[in-house]
Amino acid sequence: MSVILTALSLFAKVIAALLASAGALLLWAPAWLVARMQVLADEAKATGSTGVSLERGFYRHHRALGLFVVLGAIYILYFLVFAYSPHAVQALLFAGIDDPISRAILGQLLQFLLFFGALLAYAVGILLAIRPSALKPLEQLAHRPVRIPGWQRLLSQVFYGRLIGAVLLVLALCLWLFGGPR
């Protein structure tokens, strides 16, 4: 078990380093990053490149993918209903949190998110296995924020870029300090 915790701690440190580097870049030169994103978008538009498309393979093997999503959702639901020991999992996940109220709130939140996430995954898996075209509106809704130029305008403002950079640095520091066993 200590090998797994050490690996998770190392993974948290790597993620923290990546967040810190992105935050430092946004603090240092937010306008450069947004300008680079605009150049990449213009290059893709000029060449007619639609980017990487996973749709063909996704729709070709929709039954197998749907089955795997349903099996994963069933496993999570089984784990939560039958094989779940709340005290053991909370002791493992929240070992560094001494406040019992915070532990209880985080435990309930984790259960809630896992349960409804698994139910959503189950429904999506069934739709994917039976009729993947029913997910087309959801797919287009998921692609929509990428195409909205307002996000670029928001990030292109120096204040918001620096604010996001500062938030990323704080998140990286928290993850670095509290992201593993002590």
pLDDT digits (tens, 9 = 90+) for 77-94: 887 777 767 677 677 777
Q: Is it the case that residue 58 has pLDDT exceeding 60?
A: yes
Range of the domain at 115: 2-46+55-178
Domain count, the chain: 1
pLDDT number for residue 23: 85
- Would the pLDDT of 20 be above 60? yes
- pTM beyond 0.75: the answer is no
d(CA 154, CA 167): 15
Mean pLDDT of 17-46: 73
Task: Report which residue type is found at 175.
Answer: L
Residue 122: the pLDDT is 92
Q: Any idea how long the chain is?
A: 182
